[in-house]
A and B are shown apart, each in its own frame.
Chain A
Amino acid sequence: MATPPSPSSNLLQAFHPHQHVTEAIPVVMPREGARMAIASAAGAGSGDTHRATSGPWTRASGVAGDLHRSMQEDMRNLDHAHEGLKSGTGGFSSASTLDSIRSGWNDRLSAVLKKCRSLEGDLRSVGVEFHENESHTERSFKK
């Protein structure tokens, strides 16, 4: 079973034309005859021949995971950059103010991090939920 390419995180990518593309991914489906092409494009949720499949939700879950890990790294870097700030800035209220706003920012960034982590799970569950209903969606598919 072919795996869809992982979502691109290139910032510039967003500014480049992106086309919806159809990939051929052989899928085991209890339908006779027609080969099903599941449309998916790298980095974007594209259409499916089913009303809803696990594809885009699972992919979104992956993005949430990426963002979660990325934020962890960013917070570590931020902490690192403030190490030793106290020495060499003694007597300057800017330095102490900077220090004092850090905890609020840590809270904000942590909250985002936690949200990404929980979304990773939630989105995957939604994906599974839809995929499990595949016989239901199959019935609703009109030719």
Chain B
Amino acid sequence: MDMRQGAERADRILDGTLKAIVPPVRWVHGTSISGLCSGSSTTGQVTRQRTVLTIISPERRGNFFGLVERHWKSSGYHITGNDPGKTFPSLYATAPGEYRMSLQIGDKGQAFFDVTTPCLDKASVPDPASDQEAPRLQDGEIPYPNHTSDFWSAKKPLPS
């Protein structure tokens, strides 16, 4: 497996993750970062990122995390860490083959997904891809969450 194939697998992991979120959220690709693995000149890793544009209210955040965690577990991934801080919680997991992923909440409650490949043979890496539709954006920075979802943006917590 080389970096190109690894990156494609990372894209598919992300596709699967986002598909598991129901109702669906809007998202865009973030930066793809490729680099050599430390101490090597023949292997490198790739990190794919996706940024969610749907507003996820603090009240629905737990549910969001729950969905993602359940999907990762049911996909055979291993949850490696959980930082349930109030302001910027995050969730970490690994997939077989040493793919490492995270869900992080950042400024204004925005959700970010990352998947990083293991160290793989050097190859030129294609731009991030998806089999889902994602909104077209103007040139420039990724906006803060700007899409309201009846479900995800609702202020009422879900009945338990």
A: residues with CB less than 8 A from B are 8, 13, 16-24, 34-37, 39, 41-43, 45-49, 51, 142-143
CA distance A17 to B133 in the complex (A): 23
Indicate if the CB atoms of B136 and A20 lie closer than 8 Å.
no
The interface stretch among B25-33, B38-46, B110-118 is B25-33
Q: Interface size on B (CB < 8 Å)? A: 23
Q: At the interface, yes or no: B127 with Cβ under 8 Å from chain A? A: yes
Q: Once the chains are docked, how many angstroms separate the CA of A21 from the CA of B51?
A: 11
Q: Is the CB of A37 within 8 A of B130?
A: yes
Cα of A82 to Cα of B158 in the assembled complex, Å? 75
CA distance A51 to B103 in the complex (A): 28
* 18 further A-B pairs in the complex, CB-CB below 8 A; given A16-B139, A22-B136: A13-B139, A16-B140, A19-B29, A19-B30, A19-B31, A19-B140, A20-B32, A21-B134, A21-B136, A21-B137, A22-B28, A22-B29, A23-B134, A24-B133, A37-B131, A39-B128, A42-B138, A47-B128
Return B94 CB to nearest CB of chain A, in Å.
23
Query: Binding site of A, secondary structure by majority: helix, strand, loop or mixed?
Result: loop
Contacts of B132 in A (CB 8 A): 37
Chain A positions within 8 Å of B135 at CB level = 24
- B129 in contact (CB, < 8 A): yes
